[in-house]
Amino acid sequence: MSNALETRSLERAKRSAREVFESLSNLRVNPTRIKPIGNDVRSSGGQGDVILAALDPDPSQSDHNDDSHQVEGQFHVAVKKLKFDESRDSEKFFKSFANEVEVQSKLSHPNVVKMLGFVEDMENSVASMLYQWEENGNLRELLRSGEWEIPERLSLIQDVADGLEYLHSRDPPICHGDLKSLNILVASNYRAMITDFGSARFVRRTDRKGENKPGRPDSLREIVAHGDGEPTQAKPDIQNDQLTLTGPAWSLRWAAPEVLLGEDPGLPSDIWALGWICWEAMTDCLPFSDLYWEPAITVRIFQGKLPSIRANAQLSHVIKLCSLITDCWKHAPSKRPSALSCRKEISWMPISIPTAKNKDGSRKIRSAMLLYKLGEMHRMRDENVKALSFLREALEVAKSTGDSKYIGMSLIRIGHVHMACSHPHDAELAYMQARDACISTGHESGRAEALNGLGAVLSAWSRHEEAEAAYQEARTISISHGDIRSRVDALEGLGALLSDQSRYAEAILCYTEAMDICDTSSDLHAKAHTALGLAIIHRAQSEHTKCETLLDEARTMYTRIGDRRGQAHVLVELGHLHSVRSQYTEAEACFTQAHNIFDQINFQRGVASCFAAMGNVHRARSHWADAIEFYHRAAEAYERIGEKHGRANVLLALGHIQRLRSQFEDAERWYIAARDTYHEIGDQHGRANVLLGLGEIYSIRSSTQQSEAEALYVEAREIFGAVGDELGGANALLRLADLQRTQRKYTEAETAYTESRHVYQRIGNRLGITNALLGLGHINLARDNYPVARSMYWEARVNYIEIGDGLGAANALVGLGNVYLNQGDHLEAEKLYIKALEEYRHLNNRRGIDVVEFFLGMVRATCRQQSAKERGILPSARNEVSQ
């Protein structure tokens, strides 16, 4: 009875399989056309052997001219002969073969192997599939055949990701089920193709949730121990010095945890395997290459003892790939990225198709594209010397081969490196050469990119009109040629340029347009970068809530696409926002987190910027020694990567801190060093900031130098005006007003405060408006206009509180105390001073504490004198004078 049922079941399986084969009759190949070449099995696995054969032309081809699978003339093919023996389940064998043939017949993608045909004779248990023969073999074999550069390895990874995304995007999706380097063929053009669909299946919607299937083992013990609990040895099948563990339909080394627990392979398990293919392609190592015992591999997977990705020398060069592999290896299937996300992330990496070998087996000269990608890889890591070397070599190769595209592209990246090293003159020359090269070859996208680079150089030199023209031209070109990336870059450049000129409304329009484009193109990376730029503008306008909202959006997008550098940049900007709000503890935490990320991904410019930001926090808290230490660390970091602009900014900050400590000679030395560096790189804006710092020294150090200070403020204001920086000009005018007030030139000071306030109002800078209001309060206090002074101080304090400036709020409180002190209301003055003292202590602001303690001492001394006089203890003033 049992045998009869098995026979009927087998017949049903054969009928079902036969229906599939009949529906694909155009792919059926007559076995007489196949002529094996030699007797060697070229590769072998658990499900079949692969042999090399010659395929004779089909005699009936003339009757099927429209059949793309027929090939004229004999050519080499790979014949995959499925294994079958009496012990194997016949029903499962036929279903499996029919499934594989059916799945592959529906596939058409450059990175998925194309089945040329199949041979089938169920009665005699014959089942074979034919593919074009690829001399390069599988990915594992190619990797072992020679030395490959990182961009070449990334190209092969990208091909696999493209193919996998194609499979997962079918309707219904196709799960490969046995993805590994041995199942990745490399074509003669060095493009990788996914093959071997013996374990593939269509995924139902209910299967995508990763639900556990019935019959899964209850625990790891059931996996690593069989029968009586004794562990069993895996049976390795070694072919061509490669090991494959046979038995299950999937390969253990590449298997995801849920598959080991008994679930069917699914889309997430393919992603797990993709992570291992990335690992293999970059390191030349099989998964768990140090283990040969099946249970040991399984235990290591469940214990999460996977390779240390960032510790690997090869992988450490491509931090984004490290992050992607980490995501692919997440234990929970639902936490792994989709194939689409993987493909998009890899597309941003420096990729170059592998260079073919010469006939003698030696590598050909590296192509311009490969050298260019190597340069890009080092540039993204801030390894500018290496980057420049590769890019210059790429330029020379491109010139020698007449590769016009990479002449322009190499020049553009050379310009980027020079800009990163604060060599704007060299950068301008490179960008201009790139622009001209792109014009001569009609490479409009390259021309737009070169113009964006020129815009950045001109903007750094504060040549705003020329910079704006360059960005606008790049924008026009990119619109006419549909170049979304260059168009967004142009808009972001324009937005930053307009923001530098305090033209915030226009800047916001540029960033908003860029975000709309990013929404249309689904470019999350560009959208996140644009949101970050928009947040900076809102912070400059003291619109802190809007700024914080945009930073949250940017961080979410960067996290979603796995961009750790972007996440760190958001943390830096969030730290600046906390600093403006006098939330120094929170700011320090943000800068520390950002520093750790930058350090992990070896982005030294980010590391340096975090050191400088930490110095600013400690300076605001009057932690002078800590601030100086961080500034020196920042200067050293900028020096290492040749970033002169960042180093000049740190020298300026060191000057500020020594000025605040009343170490005027040291401050002047640092200011002059900063001025010289700014002059070297042509930064007039930085030079104007130095003049403000020197003016502060001269206005404090000696009354005889106050005229010099005034001249410096006037000169700084003229420079800011020349470069179109209204904010800088207003700040210079505010400093001049402060100086005139200390000189008791109240009329001139009042005019300067009022004029600066109008500028701040026009550009929407609320902090500047409030600072000018505070100065006007001081003027009215000095003139004994107490009601007006009191009103101005209160308004200033409210504004400072609303924009989160704790230091300004405390300063306004001191002004109010002075009003009541001058009016003789010592009790009210004392209350206000005590409140201000609490706020200064909360901010750990030593200067504020010292000032308030002085006023409190004066108030309390006056109160004691009045009390003693009332009790007749002190002599009268007349008696004091007469004595």
Q: Tell whether 171 and 310 lie within a shared domain.
A: yes
% of the chain beyond a pLDDT of 70? 86
The CATH number for 866's domain is: 1.25.40.10
Residue 436 lies in a domain: no
Q: Which domain holds residue 778?
A: 771-883
Q: Tell whether 278 and 322 lie within a shared domain.
A: yes
Residue 532 lies in a domain: no
Residue 807 lies in a domain: yes
- 215 pLDDT higher than 50: no
834 to each of 119, 227, 838, 848, how far by Cα in Å? 94, 80, 6, 12
Long-range contacts of 708-712, Cβ-Cβ distance < 8 Å, separation of 24 or more: 709/739, 710/736, 710/739, 710/740
- Residue 175 to residue 169: CA distance in whole angstroms: 10
Residue 316 lies in a domain: yes
The CATH number for 80's domain is: 3.30.200.20
What's residue 74's pLDDT?
A: 63
Final residue of a structural domain among 110, 132, 154: 132
**Per-residue confidence at 248, pLDDT binned at 50, 70, 90?**
very low
Q: Tell whether 43 and 190 lie within a shared domain.
A: no
Residue 197 lies in a domain: yes
Q: Tell whether 62 and 165 lie within a shared domain.
A: no
Residue 552 lies in a domain: no
What's residue 380's pLDDT?
A: 79
- What are the structure tokens assigned to 472, written together? 């606008």
Q: Tell whether 67 and 85 lie within a shared domain.
A: yes
Q: Tell whether 100 and 189 lie within a shared domain.
A: no
Final residue of a structural domain among 104, 132, 160: 132
Q: Tell whether 228 and 124 lie within a shared domain.
A: no
What's residue 3's pLDDT?
A: 56
Q: Tell whether 143 and 266 lie within a shared domain.
A: yes
Residue 187 lies in a domain: yes
Q: Tell whether 788 and 872 lie within a shared domain.
A: yes
Number of domains the chain contains: 3
Report the first-to-last Cα separation within the chain, whole angstroms: 136
What's residue 403's pLDDT?
A: 87
**Per-residue confidence at 9, pLDDT binned at 50, 70, 90?**
low
Q: Tell whether 7 and 125 lie within a shared domain.
A: yes
- 593 pLDDT higher than 70: yes
Closest CA to 617 of 575, 654, 674: 575
Final residue of a structural domain among 316, 347, 378: 347
DSSP per residue over 56-115, as a string?
PPPGGGGG-TT-TT--SS-EEEEEEEE---TTS-HHHHHHHHHHHHHHHHT--BTTBPPE
| Full-model pTM | 0.65
Residue 727 lies in a domain: no
**Per-residue confidence at 14, pLDDT binned at 50, 70, 90?**
low
pLDDT tens digits, residue range 523-534? 788 899 999 999
pLDDT tens digits, residue range 265-315? 999 999 999 999 999 999 988 888 887 778 888 888 888 888 888 777 677
Q: Tell whether 197 and 322 lie within a shared domain.
A: yes
The CATH number for 208's domain is: 1.10.510.10
- Residue 294 to residue 232: CA distance in whole angstroms: 8
pLDDT tens digits, residue range 821-879? 999 999 999 999 999 999 988 888 888 898 899 989 888 887 776 666 555 554 443 33
Mean pLDDT of the chain, nearest integer: 84
What's residue 291's pLDDT?
A: 79
Higher-confidence residue: 81 or 277?
Answer: 277
Q: Tell whether 124 and 169 lie within a shared domain.
A: no
What's residue 396's pLDDT?
A: 92
What's residue 402's pLDDT?
A: 86
